Amino acid sequence: MESTKPIERRKTRQVMVGNVPVGGGSPIPVQSMTTTKTDNVESTMKEIDRLEEAGCQIIRVTVPDEASAKALPEYKKRMSVPLVADIHFNYQMAILAVDGGADKIRINPGNIGKRDRVEAVLTK
């Protein structure tokens, strides 16, 4: 059997996602994303519960619309790991996700739109 060599990690700045350190030499956290429709709280919570039981330390959900954004506070009440909101195209969903208690927002600046939209998210 071939031996594996250690992962060479770049020096990065540590940030916190909720109470989980990421980067800066901290252990690499186990992360996953749900596959359910985020506005369906019961099915998404079942998946979140399974992910937590499997050892997931950070869980990401997609926030494609206002109904999904409005579900975030319920997830925050019921889950014990940090919640990341995955945003595509509509910067206003990122703002709603921040208001809904997301521990982190994941955006792609290339599909959010003009600079002023990215700045609106960053200043929230």
pLDDT grade for 46, boundaries at 50, 70 and 90? very high
- In whole angstroms, give the CA distance from residue 97 to residue 114: 19
Domain ranges (residues) in the chain:
15-123
Which fold does the domain 15-123 belong to in CATH?
Answer: TIM Barrel (3.20.20)
pLDDT tens-place string over residues 60-96? 999 999 999 999 999 999 999 999 999 988 989 999 9
pLDDT grade for 107, boundaries at 50, 70 and 90? confident
Q: Which of 107, 70, 73, 71 is nearest to 90 (CA)?
A: 107
DSSP, collapsed to helix, strand or coil, labels residue 14 as coil
- In whole angstroms, give the CA distance from residue 82 to residue 21: 11
pLDDT tens-place string over residues 9-21? 888 999 999 999 9
Q: What is the mean pLDDT of residues 110-122?
A: 80
pLDDT grade for 98, boundaries at 50, 70 and 90? very high
CA dihedral angle for residue 66, residue 83, residue 116, residue 108, rounded to 10 degrees: -100
Q: Which residue(s) pair with 98 in the sheet? A: none
Whole-number pLDDT of residue 1: 58
Q: What is the mean pLDDT of residues 52-56?
A: 98
pTM of the predicted model, to two decimals?
Answer: 0.86
